[in-house]
Structure 1
Amino acid sequence: MSADTVEPLSKVDSAVDSTEPASPSDAKARHRRTSSTVSGVYNINDLEKEGKELSIAPETQRLNWKLNTSPATLDEKDVLKKHLCEPPVKRIDLHFPLGLEVTARNLKGVTIKDALDAIYKQFKKKADDELGENPVLAGFEWDKEESWTRLVVHQKKEGQASSGGGKKSKKNKDEA
Protein backbone atom coordinates (compact mmCIF):
# COMPACT_ATOMS: atom_id res chain seq x y z
CA MET A 1 0.00 0.00 0.00
CA SER A 2 1.62 3.23 -1.12
CA ALA A 3 1.01 6.67 0.40
CA ASP A 4 -0.77 8.09 -2.67
CA THR A 5 -3.46 5.39 -3.08
CA VAL A 6 -6.72 6.28 -1.37
CA GLU A 7 -8.56 3.45 0.35
CA PRO A 8 -11.46 3.70 2.76
CA LEU A 9 -10.26 3.64 6.34
CA SER A 10 -10.88 0.53 8.36
CA LYS A 11 -10.33 -0.15 12.03
CA VAL A 12 -6.63 -0.87 12.56
CA ASP A 13 -4.92 -2.20 15.64
CA SER A 14 -1.17 -1.64 15.43
CA ALA A 15 -0.53 -4.48 17.89
CA VAL A 16 -2.04 -7.05 15.55
CA ASP A 17 -0.53 -8.21 12.28
CA SER A 18 -3.25 -7.60 9.70
CA THR A 19 -2.27 -10.61 7.56
CA GLU A 20 -3.43 -13.19 10.13
CA PRO A 21 -6.50 -13.19 12.33
CA ALA A 22 -5.80 -12.74 16.05
CA SER A 23 -7.66 -15.95 16.89
CA PRO A 24 -9.40 -18.68 14.90
CA SER A 25 -12.82 -17.25 15.81
CA ASP A 26 -11.87 -13.90 14.22
CA ALA A 27 -11.48 -15.62 10.87
CA LYS A 28 -15.19 -16.55 10.79
CA ALA A 29 -17.85 -14.25 9.42
CA ARG A 30 -18.88 -11.62 11.94
CA HIS A 31 -22.62 -11.83 12.47
CA ARG A 32 -25.02 -12.60 15.29
CA ARG A 33 -25.68 -16.16 16.19
CA THR A 34 -28.91 -17.26 14.55
CA SER A 35 -29.51 -20.39 16.59
CA SER A 36 -31.00 -18.34 19.44
CA THR A 37 -33.57 -16.59 17.24
CA VAL A 38 -36.81 -18.44 16.70
CA SER A 39 -39.06 -17.77 13.75
CA GLY A 40 -42.42 -16.33 14.70
CA VAL A 41 -41.06 -14.58 17.82
CA TYR A 42 -41.02 -10.82 17.47
CA ASN A 43 -39.27 -7.81 18.89
CA ILE A 44 -41.98 -5.71 20.56
CA ASN A 45 -40.67 -2.57 18.84
CA ASP A 46 -41.08 -4.21 15.41
CA LEU A 47 -44.70 -5.05 16.25
CA GLU A 48 -45.30 -1.43 17.17
CA LYS A 49 -43.89 -0.25 13.81
CA GLU A 50 -46.04 -2.75 11.93
CA GLY A 51 -49.11 -1.89 14.01
CA LYS A 52 -49.67 -5.53 15.05
CA GLU A 53 -51.89 -5.83 18.10
CA LEU A 54 -51.12 -8.04 21.12
CA SER A 55 -53.58 -10.38 22.77
CA ILE A 56 -52.80 -11.50 26.31
CA ALA A 57 -53.37 -15.06 27.49
CA PRO A 58 -56.60 -15.00 29.55
CA GLU A 59 -55.24 -17.73 31.85
CA THR A 60 -53.22 -15.10 33.73
CA GLN A 61 -56.43 -13.76 35.30
CA ARG A 62 -57.30 -17.11 36.91
CA LEU A 63 -53.96 -17.93 38.53
CA ASN A 64 -54.64 -16.36 41.98
CA TRP A 65 -50.85 -16.16 42.41
CA LYS A 66 -49.36 -14.25 45.33
CA LEU A 67 -46.51 -12.01 44.15
CA ASN A 68 -43.99 -13.13 46.80
CA THR A 69 -44.42 -16.89 46.23
CA SER A 70 -42.53 -18.90 43.67
CA PRO A 71 -44.38 -19.55 40.39
CA ALA A 72 -43.32 -23.20 40.82
CA THR A 73 -45.91 -23.52 43.61
CA LEU A 74 -48.83 -23.00 41.21
CA ASP A 75 -51.12 -25.95 40.62
CA GLU A 76 -51.58 -25.34 36.90
CA LYS A 77 -48.06 -26.10 35.65
CA ASP A 78 -49.15 -26.44 32.01
CA VAL A 79 -50.39 -22.81 31.98
CA LEU A 80 -46.86 -21.59 32.80
CA LYS A 81 -45.58 -22.89 29.45
CA LYS A 82 -48.05 -20.84 27.40
CA HIS A 83 -46.93 -17.63 25.72
CA LEU A 84 -47.88 -14.52 27.68
CA CYS A 85 -49.16 -12.84 24.53
CA GLU A 86 -49.80 -13.49 20.88
CA PRO A 87 -47.84 -12.95 18.73
CA PRO A 88 -44.98 -14.09 20.99
CA VAL A 89 -42.33 -11.48 21.84
CA LYS A 90 -38.70 -11.73 22.98
CA ARG A 91 -39.11 -9.25 25.84
CA ILE A 92 -41.82 -7.16 27.39
CA ASP A 93 -41.95 -4.65 30.22
CA LEU A 94 -44.44 -5.25 33.03
CA HIS A 95 -45.56 -2.00 34.64
CA PHE A 96 -47.07 -1.78 38.14
CA PRO A 97 -49.48 1.10 38.88
CA LEU A 98 -47.16 2.51 41.58
CA GLY A 99 -44.30 2.86 39.11
CA LEU A 100 -42.27 -0.36 39.46
CA GLU A 101 -41.35 -1.87 36.12
CA VAL A 102 -39.84 -5.30 35.48
CA THR A 103 -38.86 -6.90 32.19
CA ALA A 104 -39.65 -10.47 31.18
CA ARG A 105 -37.33 -11.95 28.54
CA ASN A 106 -37.18 -15.17 26.55
CA LEU A 107 -35.69 -15.44 23.06
CA LYS A 108 -38.15 -18.24 22.28
CA GLY A 109 -41.11 -16.08 23.28
CA VAL A 110 -42.01 -14.76 26.75
CA THR A 111 -44.15 -17.32 28.59
CA ILE A 112 -46.45 -16.80 31.55
CA LYS A 113 -43.72 -18.38 33.70
CA ASP A 114 -41.15 -15.84 32.45
CA ALA A 115 -43.46 -12.99 33.45
CA LEU A 116 -44.18 -14.49 36.88
CA ASP A 117 -40.47 -15.17 37.44
CA ALA A 118 -39.61 -11.54 36.66
CA ILE A 119 -42.27 -10.31 39.10
CA TYR A 120 -41.30 -12.86 41.76
CA LYS A 121 -37.66 -11.73 41.56
CA GLN A 122 -38.79 -8.26 42.70
CA PHE A 123 -41.11 -9.44 45.49
CA LYS A 124 -39.55 -12.65 46.85
CA LYS A 125 -37.84 -10.94 49.81
CA LYS A 126 -40.95 -9.00 50.84
CA ALA A 127 -43.09 -10.18 53.73
CA ASP A 128 -46.84 -10.59 53.19
CA ASP A 129 -47.63 -7.35 55.03
CA GLU A 130 -45.20 -5.41 52.79
CA LEU A 131 -47.12 -6.29 49.62
CA GLY A 132 -49.92 -3.80 50.30
CA GLU A 133 -53.64 -4.42 50.14
CA ASN A 134 -53.58 -6.22 46.77
CA PRO A 135 -50.90 -8.96 46.96
CA VAL A 136 -52.38 -11.30 44.32
CA LEU A 137 -51.98 -11.10 40.54
CA ALA A 138 -55.28 -10.26 38.84
CA GLY A 139 -53.90 -10.29 35.30
CA PHE A 140 -52.24 -8.09 32.71
CA GLU A 141 -53.61 -5.36 30.49
CA TRP A 142 -52.19 -4.09 27.22
CA ASP A 143 -53.02 -0.42 26.74
CA LYS A 144 -51.66 0.55 23.34
CA GLU A 145 -52.65 4.20 23.85
CA GLU A 146 -50.46 4.47 26.96
CA SER A 147 -47.54 2.32 25.81
CA TRP A 148 -47.35 -0.23 23.02
CA THR A 149 -44.32 -1.98 24.48
CA ARG A 150 -45.48 -2.77 28.02
CA LEU A 151 -48.24 -4.51 29.92
CA VAL A 152 -49.93 -3.07 33.01
CA VAL A 153 -49.98 -5.48 35.95
CA HIS A 154 -53.27 -5.64 37.85
CA GLN A 155 -53.47 -6.86 41.43
CA LYS A 156 -56.33 -7.89 43.73
CA LYS A 157 -57.05 -8.85 47.31
CA GLU A 158 -56.15 -12.38 48.34
CA GLY A 159 -58.60 -15.17 47.61
CA GLN A 160 -60.90 -12.94 45.59
CA ALA A 161 -62.58 -14.92 42.85
CA SER A 162 -62.07 -13.50 39.39
CA SER A 163 -65.21 -11.61 38.41
CA GLY A 164 -66.70 -11.51 34.93
CA GLY A 165 -65.33 -8.03 34.12
CA GLY A 166 -62.12 -8.82 35.90
CA LYS A 167 -59.93 -5.81 35.25
CA LYS A 168 -61.30 -3.06 37.51
CA SER A 169 -61.90 -5.06 40.71
CA LYS A 170 -59.73 -2.67 42.75
CA LYS A 171 -62.64 -0.35 43.51
CA ASN A 172 -64.18 -2.64 46.19
CA LYS A 173 -63.15 -0.63 49.26
CA ASP A 174 -66.61 -0.43 50.91
CA GLU A 175 -66.07 -3.55 53.06
CA ALA A 176 -65.79 -1.68 56.41
Structure 2
Amino acid sequence: MSADTAPLTKVDSAIQGLSSSPPKEAVKGHRRASSSAAGVYNINDLEKEGTEIQIAKETQKLNWRINKSPNTLDEPEKSALKKMLTTPPVKKIDLHFPLGLEVTARNLKGVTIKDALDAIYKQFRKKADDELETPILAGFEWDKEECWTRFIVHCKKEGAPQPKKKGKKGQEGDEL
Protein backbone atom coordinates (compact mmCIF):
# COMPACT_ATOMS: atom_id res chain seq x y z
CA MET A 1 0.00 0.00 0.00
CA SER A 2 2.84 2.35 0.59
CA ALA A 3 3.64 2.04 -3.14
CA ASP A 4 0.05 3.12 -3.94
CA THR A 5 0.24 6.15 -1.68
CA ALA A 6 3.38 7.44 -3.39
CA PRO A 7 1.66 7.95 -6.78
CA LEU A 8 -1.25 9.59 -4.99
CA THR A 9 1.03 12.17 -3.47
CA LYS A 10 2.34 12.90 -6.96
CA VAL A 11 -1.24 13.34 -8.19
CA ASP A 12 -1.95 15.54 -5.18
CA SER A 13 1.09 17.64 -5.95
CA ALA A 14 -0.08 17.94 -9.57
CA ILE A 15 -3.47 19.13 -8.39
CA GLN A 16 -1.77 21.59 -6.09
CA GLY A 17 0.30 22.71 -9.09
CA LEU A 18 -2.90 23.76 -10.91
CA SER A 19 -2.89 26.94 -8.90
CA SER A 20 -0.07 28.04 -11.21
CA SER A 21 -2.35 27.82 -14.28
CA PRO A 22 -3.96 31.28 -13.89
CA PRO A 23 -0.67 32.95 -14.85
CA LYS A 24 -0.77 30.83 -18.04
CA GLU A 25 -4.20 32.35 -18.79
CA ALA A 26 -2.70 35.76 -18.24
CA VAL A 27 -0.09 34.81 -20.82
CA LYS A 28 -2.91 33.98 -23.25
CA GLY A 29 -4.39 37.43 -22.73
CA HIS A 30 -0.96 38.92 -23.38
CA ARG A 31 -0.51 36.92 -26.58
CA ARG A 32 -2.89 39.22 -28.43
CA ALA A 33 -0.57 42.19 -27.99
CA SER A 34 2.32 40.21 -29.41
CA SER A 35 0.44 39.74 -32.70
CA SER A 36 1.20 43.35 -33.53
CA ALA A 37 4.48 43.85 -35.33
CA ALA A 38 7.50 45.35 -33.64
CA GLY A 39 7.88 49.04 -34.32
CA VAL A 40 4.14 49.63 -34.76
CA TYR A 41 2.79 52.22 -32.35
CA ASN A 42 -0.46 53.13 -30.69
CA ILE A 43 -1.28 56.63 -31.89
CA ASN A 44 -2.13 57.69 -28.32
CA ASP A 45 1.41 56.78 -27.24
CA LEU A 46 2.84 58.88 -30.08
CA GLU A 47 0.70 61.79 -28.90
CA LYS A 48 2.04 61.47 -25.33
CA GLU A 49 5.61 61.37 -26.62
CA GLY A 50 4.96 64.24 -29.05
CA THR A 51 6.24 62.17 -31.99
CA GLU A 52 5.56 63.78 -35.38
CA ILE A 53 3.61 61.69 -37.90
CA GLN A 54 4.36 61.71 -41.62
CA ILE A 55 1.63 60.71 -44.12
CA ALA A 56 2.63 58.76 -47.22
CA LYS A 57 2.70 61.15 -50.19
CA GLU A 58 1.44 58.40 -52.51
CA THR A 59 -2.10 58.95 -51.19
CA GLN A 60 -2.32 62.24 -53.11
CA LYS A 61 -1.53 60.64 -56.48
CA LEU A 62 -3.97 57.73 -56.43
CA ASN A 63 -6.95 59.41 -58.17
CA TRP A 64 -9.10 56.79 -56.49
CA ARG A 65 -12.91 56.95 -56.53
CA ILE A 66 -14.09 56.46 -52.94
CA ASN A 67 -17.07 54.31 -54.06
CA LYS A 68 -14.86 51.87 -56.02
CA SER A 69 -12.84 49.05 -54.50
CA PRO A 70 -9.14 49.89 -53.99
CA ASN A 71 -8.41 46.62 -55.80
CA THR A 72 -9.60 48.24 -59.06
CA LEU A 73 -6.58 50.59 -59.10
CA ASP A 74 -4.05 49.97 -61.87
CA GLU A 75 -0.27 50.05 -61.65
CA PRO A 76 1.67 52.03 -60.51
CA GLU A 77 -1.00 53.18 -58.03
CA LYS A 78 -1.82 49.60 -56.98
CA SER A 79 1.74 48.99 -55.75
CA ALA A 80 1.37 51.99 -53.39
CA LEU A 81 -1.43 50.20 -51.51
CA LYS A 82 1.07 48.00 -49.64
CA LYS A 83 2.97 50.98 -48.22
CA MET A 84 2.45 52.16 -44.67
CA LEU A 85 0.06 55.10 -44.41
CA THR A 86 2.15 56.74 -41.71
CA THR A 87 5.71 57.00 -40.52
CA PRO A 88 6.07 55.72 -37.83
CA PRO A 89 3.48 52.96 -38.47
CA VAL A 90 0.36 53.01 -36.26
CA LYS A 91 -2.12 50.28 -35.29
CA LYS A 92 -5.19 52.39 -36.02
CA ILE A 93 -6.11 55.81 -37.28
CA ASP A 94 -9.40 57.68 -37.43
CA LEU A 95 -10.20 59.22 -40.81
CA HIS A 96 -12.43 62.27 -40.52
CA PHE A 97 -14.42 63.72 -43.41
CA PRO A 98 -15.13 67.47 -43.33
CA LEU A 99 -18.92 66.86 -43.25
CA GLY A 100 -18.59 64.89 -40.00
CA LEU A 101 -18.32 61.24 -41.06
CA GLU A 102 -15.52 59.35 -39.35
CA VAL A 103 -14.14 55.91 -40.20
CA THR A 104 -11.32 53.97 -38.56
CA ALA A 105 -8.57 52.06 -40.35
CA ARG A 106 -6.98 49.29 -38.28
CA ASN A 107 -4.08 46.87 -38.75
CA LEU A 108 -2.02 45.51 -35.86
CA LYS A 109 0.96 45.19 -38.20
CA GLY A 110 0.68 48.85 -39.22
CA VAL A 111 -2.07 50.64 -41.15
CA THR A 112 -1.31 50.54 -44.87
CA ILE A 113 -2.72 52.82 -47.56
CA LYS A 114 -5.00 49.93 -48.58
CA ASP A 115 -6.35 49.62 -45.01
CA ALA A 116 -7.32 53.30 -45.09
CA LEU A 117 -8.91 53.02 -48.54
CA ASP A 118 -10.81 49.88 -47.52
CA ALA A 119 -12.25 51.69 -44.48
CA ILE A 120 -13.38 54.60 -46.69
CA TYR A 121 -14.71 52.29 -49.42
CA LYS A 122 -16.80 50.38 -46.88
CA GLN A 123 -18.73 53.61 -46.17
CA PHE A 124 -19.25 54.65 -49.79
CA ARG A 125 -19.49 51.40 -51.79
CA LYS A 126 -23.28 51.61 -52.14
CA LYS A 127 -23.27 55.20 -53.38
CA ALA A 128 -23.60 55.93 -57.08
CA ASP A 129 -21.15 58.31 -58.75
CA ASP A 130 -23.78 61.03 -59.10
CA GLU A 131 -24.63 60.82 -55.38
CA LEU A 132 -21.11 61.89 -54.41
CA GLU A 133 -20.24 65.56 -54.67
CA THR A 134 -16.49 64.93 -54.42
CA PRO A 135 -15.84 61.27 -55.36
CA ILE A 136 -12.04 61.36 -55.82
CA LEU A 137 -9.59 61.03 -52.92
CA ALA A 138 -7.25 64.01 -52.87
CA GLY A 139 -5.22 62.90 -49.83
CA PHE A 140 -5.06 63.08 -46.06
CA GLU A 141 -4.15 65.92 -43.73
CA TRP A 142 -2.85 65.67 -40.20
CA ASP A 143 -3.75 68.70 -38.10
CA LYS A 144 -2.09 68.02 -34.76
CA GLU A 145 -3.52 71.22 -33.25
CA GLU A 146 -7.09 70.10 -33.94
CA CYS A 147 -6.77 66.39 -33.15
CA TRP A 148 -3.56 64.38 -32.91
CA THR A 149 -5.19 60.97 -33.38
CA ARG A 150 -7.04 61.47 -36.66
CA PHE A 151 -6.47 62.49 -40.24
CA ILE A 152 -8.73 64.76 -42.25
CA VAL A 153 -9.77 63.18 -45.55
CA HIS A 154 -9.76 65.52 -48.55
CA CYS A 155 -11.70 64.72 -51.69
CA LYS A 156 -12.01 66.49 -55.04
CA LYS A 157 -14.49 66.52 -57.90
CA GLU A 158 -12.14 65.30 -60.63
CA GLY A 159 -9.02 63.21 -60.73
CA ALA A 160 -6.22 63.53 -63.27
CA PRO A 161 -7.43 60.82 -65.70
CA GLN A 162 -11.08 61.93 -65.70
CA PRO A 163 -10.72 65.33 -67.46
CA LYS A 164 -9.24 63.56 -70.52
CA LYS A 165 -12.26 61.27 -70.74
CA LYS A 166 -14.67 64.16 -70.26
CA GLY A 167 -12.80 66.10 -72.95
CA LYS A 168 -13.37 63.24 -75.41
CA LYS A 169 -17.04 63.03 -74.49
CA GLY A 170 -17.33 66.79 -74.94
CA GLN A 171 -15.81 66.52 -78.41
CA GLU A 172 -18.23 63.75 -79.34
CA GLY A 173 -21.11 65.91 -78.11
CA ASP A 174 -19.91 68.80 -80.30
CA GLU A 175 -19.82 66.52 -83.37
CA LEU A 176 -23.39 65.38 -82.85
- TM-score class, shorter: 0.7 to 0.9
User: Tell me, which stretches of 5 or more residues in structure 2 are unaligned?
Assistant: 1-14, 162-176
How far did residue 20 of structure 1 move? 8.1
Match of 1:78 in 2: 79
How far the C-alpha of 1:35 sits from its partner, in A, is 3.4
Distance 1:88 1:117 in 2: 17
Matched, 1:135 2:138: no
Quick check: 1:126 aligned with 2:127?
A: yes
- Deviations, residues 148-174 of structure 1 (Å, cap 9, x unaligned): 00000000112347xxxxxxxxxxxxx
Question: How far is the alpha carbon of 1:130 from its aligned partner?
Answer: 1.3
- Name the SS for the 1:59 alignment partner: helix
- Cα deviation, 1:53-94, whole Å, max 9, x if unaligned, reads 100000000000000000000112210000001000000000
Change (3 A) 1:21 1:77: farther
SS of 2:109's equivalent?
A: coil
Distance 1:158 1:27, change over 3 A: same
Q: Secondary structure at the match of 1:28?
A: helix
User: Is contact 1:94-1:153 (8 Å) kept?
Assistant: yes
SS in 1 for 2:26: coil
- TM-score, scaled relative to structure 1: 0.74
TM-score normalised by structure 2 residue count: 0.74
Question: Aligned residue for 1:30?
Answer: 26
Structure with more of its chain in helix, by fraction: 2
Give 1:8's aligned residue. Answer: none
Shift of 1:107: 0.2
Which one is further off, 76-85 or 117-126? 76-85
Alignment-mate amino acid for residue 40 of structure 1: G
1:27 & 1:150 partners in 2: Cα distance?
36
Seen in structure 2, the aligned counterparts of structure 1 residues 99 and 21 have a Cα distance that, compared at 3 Å, is farther
Alignment correspondent of 1:48: 47
Give the alignment's Cα RMSD to 1 decimal.
2.2
Deviation at 1:139, TM superposition (A): 0.2
Work out which of the two has the higher radius of gyration on C-alpha atoms and give 1 or 2: 2
Decide whether the 8 Å contact of 1:140 with 1:153 is kept in 2.
yes
SS at match of 2:138: strand
Counting aligned pairs with the same residue, the percent is 72
**Stretches of structure 1 lacking an aligned partner (at least 5 in a row):** 1-17, 162-176
Cα pair 1:21 1:27 within 8 Å, conserved? no
